[in-house]
Structure 1
Amino acid sequence: MEQTQVFDEKAIQGMDLLFHHYWILRSEQPEWYQLIREREKVLRRYIGDKFGLRLIVHQHFIKLEKIPAEPERWMGIQEFQEPMDYAIFCCALSFLEGKAVDEQFLLSEICQEIQSDYPGDFPLDWTLFTHRKSLIRAVKVLMDFQLIRTIDGDISRFDHNEEQEVLYEATTYSRYFMRTYPDDFAAYTHWEELLKEDWKLNQEDERRKRVYRKLFFSPGIHRQDQQDPDFLYIRNFRNRLSEDIDKHSDYQLHVYKNTAFLSSAVSRQYHNLYPDTKASSDLLLQLSKEIHGQRERYTPAENGEIIFTKSEFEQAVDELREVYGQGWSKFFREKSTSGIAAELMISMKDWMMAEEDEETGLIKIKPLLGVIAGEYPADFEKGGESE
């Protein structure tokens, strides 16, 4: 058998790179590009079989089109803050489709085109500071993805001066950012139709592909109820899944009564692992410890969720501060209880550890929070910031 047909350590590394990067640019990461090319056949076969995803190998880049089983709130472009950012970004992509590789254009030119194509209920007005800031965020992301390059000028000055001019150049990659669809994009009226279109191509072994996507793309999977088909699949084929994941990745499968997730003993610079180095992770570990230690008070539902009202959650934060607060970072020591609770909710939602019902205000703490708990060592002395 040819070396390229063996799913070896190089193939494992190649798959890890594909899953953690939007694309691998040959000009920027030539070693990564070459590694994946060498294992292209075996990677394409495995990813297609287990995930139902498309691997694109181009002379200038390699891209795995990562389509989630279900979209989550933490997915998307992290630098964007509001829907306007995405709309401006998409209008800019449309503008770039009409540009040749290395063709130059001015900021004022793309601003004019975006303004005329913008689909919002209210028109863009570059004299408004908020609109200019939104454009700056969109342009910076265009540069981060290497869809355009700056020839002369600085976009950051646009926030104080709408007359600021910058010269840009379109790159080879600008026309490959968006994935292609079977039908005209304008024919889709709702984002759910895009997901349904993908599953039309993946009807064979759809359940397995959904489970693999959830495990690899999300912090974890929660059991919705006793008949949750995805979770039942994991429970029924646990050993087979675990063996396959061990063989083809650096991850290990963990399955509990109400949650399943992958862990990694290998931490690479581009990984986003929990707990991370943010101070909020320390508080979440402590919160997990306190909830675990008071089972008579915090009784989980059948699916493992623990329900809090907003005031009950803030009370829990107050009690957490009483026990651990002296060791918290200055940022959290000086925050109000409601401010701390809001910060923790953001982190928990990002890690799929909590959901908040907008109508009732109830907070659902998910089983994933309880997987890891932490506290300060016994000899910890109150009165100083933790190391």
Structure 2
Amino acid sequence: MQEELEALLSKHWILKSEDRELYYQIRDHAQEIRKFVTERLGCPMIENQLLIKVERIPAVPKPFMGIQEFRSPREYAFFSMLLMFLEEHAEDQFILSQLTEFIAGNLPGGGVDWTSYQERRRLVRVLQYAESQGMLKRTDGSEDSFVESQKDVLYENTGVSLYYMRSFSEDIMHYRGLEDFLNSGWYEVDEDKGLVRRHRVYRRLLFAPGLYRSEGAEGDYEYLKNQGARMREELSVLLSLRLEISKGGAMLLLSDDSGLGEAFPGSSTMSDILLLVLDAIQKRVQSEVWKTDVRDCIVLEEPEFDALLREVRSENLSRFSKVYRDLPEGDFLKEVKAQMMLWTFLSRDAEIGRLRLEPSCAKLAGRYVEA
């Protein structure tokens, strides 16, 4: 069951039309998988003739949980309009001009100027993402031709977009913030019984690189300590994961045969750079230049952290790939911090206006071997 469960936890969905073999493998283990995801994660599992999907609902939202292909809030708005359009044109063919007219006529806050190259490029990013997820099939024309000269493109609606968005059992029009959406599945559930806490802890472990005491409910960490032995055994058997718990939180380490999501470190130059940064952080802690707090975090001013990044860049620049050797210093700092936030090594503490290095910074490090 490991392969099937990993696939469901790593991908948005499994489409029968794209991976028939895996689709039927999962259906063969559907009862066992549903038991785990509902009892441990509290996540619904959708199964029909088109797809199988686990509704992965985060406990603590993170930047990497967004659609990485999108670069602006405008694209999320276009994507929402696309989903509405596809719902009205179920399993039909349509031309791109029909979609652009629909968006211009229905987008809240005013119309859209499709003579703008930037707006057309944004829409194309949305369409390409929808294609990559199997919601659309381009049957004639080129998206590049639409970007350059607004030429039409013919698409086919596969019908699976109906299952993209999460379903709610109640009217969400009274929701006023993010917390309402996060807690919607737990309304009328007594948290003292431990069900909500169990779901939250498993989600925080499996849907993010780490569970930190510095964020979320303190009771989650207590649950983790009390149930750690049982969780270690279960996650080892089902997913070949090793659970490590420290005073700063917990994380799951993947075995060599694990196929669960994207792993760090990878094989990219940026992955190497982050390992060098982690090594420099650990050296500052060992020399007591930087000190950890009671939750194994390091809180510091941004200029102080930027100085460390400049030092790492200066000492290792000749070994970087050409892309990063040529990257201006300011862009280098910005990209490294963005990647560290993506992997939850780094966060911004909004209350005090400083950066916070998370406990995971102590788990990995890398350095170049001298010739």
Q: Decide: shared fold, TM above 0.5.
A: yes
Match of 2:133 among 141, 145, 148: 145
Contact 2:104 2:110 in 1 (8 A): no
Distance 1:126 1:361, change over 3 A: same
- Between the aligned partners of 1:360 and 1:243, the Cα distance in structure 2 is 39
Question: Which of 162, 170, 190 matches 2:157?
Answer: 170
Q: How far 1:322 sits from its partner (Å)?
A: 4.0
Other-structure match for 2:81: 91
| Deviation of the 1:201 alpha carbon | 6.9
The alpha carbon displacement at 1:186 in A equals 4.2
Shift of 1:25: 0.9
Structure 2 unaligned blocks of 5 or more: none
For residue 116 of structure 2, what is the aligned residue in structure 1? 128
Number of aligned residue pairs: 366
Alpha-carbon distance in 2 for matches of 1:279, 1:269: 22
Kept after mapping to 2: 8 A contact 1:288/1:372: yes
User: Structure 1's 358 and 42: CA in aligned 2 closer, same or farther, altered over 3 A?
Assistant: closer
Q: Structure 1's 161 and 374: CA in aligned 2 closer, same or farther, altered over 3 A?
A: same
Question: Is the 2:240–2:258 Cα contact (8 Å) retained in structure 1?
Answer: no
Question: Which SS does the other structure have where 2:112 is aligned?
Answer: coil
> Cα distance 1:85–1:19, how it changes in 2: closer, same or farther (>3 A)?
same
Matched ranges for 1:25-36 at <5 A: 25-36=15-26
Match of 2:63 in 1: 73
Q: Which moved more, 1:14-23 or 1:225-234?
A: 225-234
2:105 aligned with 1:113: no
Give a deviation string over 1:266-286, Cα, whole Å, max 9, x none.
356773100112212212211
Cα-to-partner distance string for 1:286-305 (whole Å, 9 max, x where unaligned)? 12222222331111122222
Give the superposed CA RMSD: 2.2
TM-score, normalised with respect to structure 2: 0.92
CA offset digits 1:333-375 (Å, max 9, x no partner):
3334333221110111001111135686522111112210111
CA contact (8 A) 2:282 2:361 kept: no
Note if 1:350 corresponds to 2:339: no
Amino acid at match of 1:107: L
- Aligned-residue sequence identity (percent) comes to 30
Match of 1:325 among 304, 313, 317: 317
2:281 alignment counterpart: 291
TM-score by length of 1: 0.88
User: Which gives a bigger RCO, structure 1 or 2 (Cα 8 Å, sep 6+)?
Assistant: 2
Shift of 1:178: 2.1
The answer for the alignment partner of 2:263 in structure 1 is 273
Q: 1:145 to 1:298 in 2, by over 3 A?
A: same
1:69-117 per-residue CA deviation (whole Å, 9 max, x = no partner) reads 122111121111111111111111111111232x221111111011111
2:307 equivalent in structure 1: 315
Which deviates further from its counterpart, 129-138 or 186-195? Answer: 186-195
Give the Cα–Cα distance (whole angstroms) in 2 for the partners of residues 270 and 244 of structure 1: 15
